């Protein structure tokens, strides 16, 4: 039962396994979509929802992604995309904390592109985090990429 739950969570209900698009892109889109739902449902409480979402997503991702990677016998399987959900969530949460206001589609798009860029390029020290053991190595680099994307996005907006 726990193995099935980990597989279902880590692959975001099987999306990482089933869709023709790269799993990392799918996971990032799911993270952005979930954040948009939270922002739309309770815009006045977005900072708190962002923190709560991260408090749930981060440890859940470490457990589920680590368990599914172990089950598959691969350090970071492509279909495991919950780490991208968490990273994208952190990118948007960082922006919401530093630049409070309505979440717009352009902001979502920019956040998505910045997160994907940091997640693909993995500048130092992000790439080094992949060497952490188990689920930590799968998730930590995505959280760092999300934080970098959110900080860069907020800084760019502050300069405008």
In the chain, the number of structural domains is 1
Q: Which of 102, 82, 77 is nearest to 30 (CA)?
A: 82
Please tell me the pTM assigned to this model: 0.96
Provide the residue range defining the domain that includes 150.
2-159
Which helix (H) or strand (E) segment is 155 a member of? helix 134-159
| pLDDT one digit per residue (tens) for the chain, 160 residues | 678 999 999 999 988 877 766 778 889 999 999 999 999 999 999 999 999 999 999 999 999 999 999 999 999 999 999 999 999 999 999 999 999 999 999 999 999 999 999 999 999 999 999 999 999 999 999 999 999 999 999 999 999 8
Q: How many residues does the chain have?
A: 160
The whole-number pLDDT of residue 16 equals 80
Q: How far apart are CA 77 and CA 54, in angstroms?
A: 22
Cis peptide bond N-terminal to 107, omega within 30? no
- pLDDT, one tens digit per residue, over 23-61 is 788 899 999 999 999 999 999 999 999 999 999 999 999
Task: Note whether 77 and 137 are within 8 A (CB).
Answer: no
């Amino acid at each position: 039962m726990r193995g099935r739950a980990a597989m279902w969570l880590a692959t975001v209900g099987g999306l990482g396994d089933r869709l023709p698009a790269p799993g990392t892109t799918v996971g990032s889109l799911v993270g952005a979509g979930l954040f948009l739902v939270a922002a739309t449902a309770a815009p006045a409480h977005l900072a708190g929802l962002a923190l709560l979402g991260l408090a749930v997503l981060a440890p859940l991702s470490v457990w589920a992604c680590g368990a599914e990677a172990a089950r598959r016998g691969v350090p970071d399987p492509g279909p495991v995309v919950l780490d991208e959900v968490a990273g994208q969530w952190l990118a948007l949460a960082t922006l919401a904390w530093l630049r409070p206001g309505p979440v717009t589609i352009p902001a979502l798009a920019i956040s998505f592109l910045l997160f994907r860029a940091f997640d693909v390029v993995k500048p130092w020290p992000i790439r080094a985090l992949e060497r952490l053991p188990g689920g930590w190595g799968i998730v930590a680099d995505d959280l760092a990429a999300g934080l970098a994307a959110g900080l860069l996005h907020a800084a760019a907006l502050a300069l405008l």
